[in-house]
Amino acid sequence: MGKNLSIRMAFKALPALAACLCLHAGDAAAQGTGSWGTKPNLPAPRANGAVGLIGRNIYYAGGYYQGKPVNTLYIYNLDAKVWKTGANMPASLHHIGQAAVLDGKLYSIGGDSHGDANSPKPGGAEHTGTSYNFAYDPATDKWKTLKPLIRTTATSAIIAFGKKIYVIGGVDSMGIVHTATQEYDPATDTWTLKKPMFTPRDHAGVEVLDSLIYVCSGGVLKKNTGAFEAYSPASDTWYKLPNIPTPRSDMGFGLVKGRMYAFGGEWPGIYDNNEEYDPVAKSWRAVIRMPEAWKALATAIVGDSIYSFGGYTASGMTSKGIVFIPPNNPSDVIATGSMIRSMGRAGSLGPTFSNGAIDFGLGLDASGRLRAVPVSALPSGVR
């Protein structure tokens, strides 16, 4: 297993923290391949809804059901282990992309309002986008309509970073799969176009790790791309990373213990494979396959596990809930708590230090956790 290396830092600003920091370093070899379990089913079959975790509740908004978009909101309490319903969305939508969660609110942005996915659409597209921007407040059980997107979109990579929300790629109302990076500021209810990513795609996976937003795979008109790219909001710069070994669209995607996991997906057919990305080694490897082939999963990170609900298996649309428990890889998360939150903003590289062999950067990730990250693992533009 790992070897504990004590790190003594001479930072005058960090005397209280220096005594308790340790980095769990380990062999680069795999520490197992993880496991799968089950979770309570959704109240009804759904696919391609928007999902997010707030407190002890998972929210599943909208989605596709019986050939039509829906506006339902399902809420799963992790303690009671039961589902209930919340206020309906202002519009019926599917293929929204992952919901963004920021300051205790759930954001549903873009999405497709059409019914049958096989109905004719511009450009031969399977889906077409909208400009909707809604926020749900759990405290009041109410939705609020916000300023619409600059560019219409559906099936985008959507995620919160710092105090902003980023909507990346997707397919617009004309059926064009694009590269746009749209930044939303909830404080001012304004949108800004940022530098576009390199590869046009929809149905991509997205996660935040330290100072970067990662966008993985996806496709254009049922032709997948293995492209894996990272975006730095601080410098408005995109970087290319090693392609995923199995290009896919509409997969589950999540970050746990400093590593990213892509599982299931489609085109051609439906996949059951599961691949792990190590940002330190900048490499991919195969881990335990899903219990069955699956696509259009909606995922939420709960502690050190990835919960997924709904989607399609070989039997058709499902309401099933499953959980992936990743392998026990060495982690570079080294502290939590309010004592470190004032050290720097999320995504900041912060000061650097060394264990004698490797140089590390110290900073907070988007969840407020202090992390020690090998500087060599970062793209050159953010070292």
Phi, psi of 122 (to 5 degrees): -55, 140
Q: Are 180 and 157 in contact (CB under 8 A)?
A: no
- The model's pLDDT over 205-236, given as tens digits with 9 standing for 90+, comes to 999 999 999 999 999 988 999 999 999 999 99
| Among the ranges given (24-38, 173-187, 211-225, 329-343), the one the predictor scored with the smallest mean pLDDT | 329-343
DSSP 3-state helix, strand, coil percentages of the chain (rounded to 5)?
5, 45, 50
Question: Is residue 246 predicted with pLDDT exceeding 90?
Answer: yes
Q: What does the pLDDT read at residue 127?
A: 84
Q: Long-range contact list for 111-116, CB < 8 A, 24+ apart? A: 111/50, 111/62, 111/69, 111/154, 112/69, 112/154, 112/155, 113/69, 114/69, 115/67, 115/68, 115/69, 116/67, 116/68
pLDDT band of 368, cuts 50, 70, 90: very low
Most confident of 18-27, 311-320, 334-343: 311-320
Helix or strand holding residue 323 (H, E): strand 321-325
User: How far is C-alpha 321 from the chain's CA centre?
Assistant: 18
Q: What is the greatest pairwise CA distance in the chain?
A: 65
Question: Is residue 249 predicted with pLDDT exceeding 70?
Answer: yes
Q: What does the pLDDT read at residue 222?
A: 81
SS3 assignment, position 286:
strand
Greater model confidence, 3 or 208:
208
Average pLDDT score, the chain: 82
Calpha distance 94→71 (Å, rounded)? 9
Calpha distance 221→124 (Å, rounded)? 8
Question: Is residue 280 predicted with pLDDT exceeding 60?
Answer: yes
What is the DSSP secondary structure assignment for residue 276, as one 8-state letter?
E
- The model's pLDDT over 97-122, given as tens digits with 9 standing for 90+, comes to 899 999 999 999 999 998 755 555 56
Check if CATH label 2.120.10.80 holds for domain 35-325: yes
- The model's pLDDT over 129-139, given as tens digits with 9 standing for 90+, comes to 999 999 999 99
- Average pLDDT of the residues in 260-285: 96
Q: Are 322 and 31 in contact (CB under 8 A)?
A: no
Q: What does the pLDDT read at residue 32?
A: 81
Give the strand order in the sheet containing 50-54.
50-54, 57-61, 73-77, 82-85
Question: Is residue 285 predicted with pLDDT exceeding 90?
Answer: yes
| Among the ranges given (138-142, 320-324, 354-358), the one the predictor scored with the smallest mean pLDDT | 354-358
Q: How far is CA 131 from CA 23, 156, 242, 243, 297, in A?
A: 45, 12, 32, 30, 23
Q: What ranges do the domains of the chain cover? A: 3-27+330-382, 35-325
- The model's pLDDT over 63-103, given as tens digits with 9 standing for 90+, comes to 999 989 999 999 999 999 999 999 999 999 999 989 999 99
Q: Are 355 and 26 in contact (CB under 8 A)?
A: no
- Average pLDDT of the residues in 191-212: 97
- Cβ neighbours for 329, distance < 8 A, ≥ 6 positions apart: 26, 30, 31, 257, 258, 259, 278
Task: Find where tokens 């916000």 sit.
Answer: 146
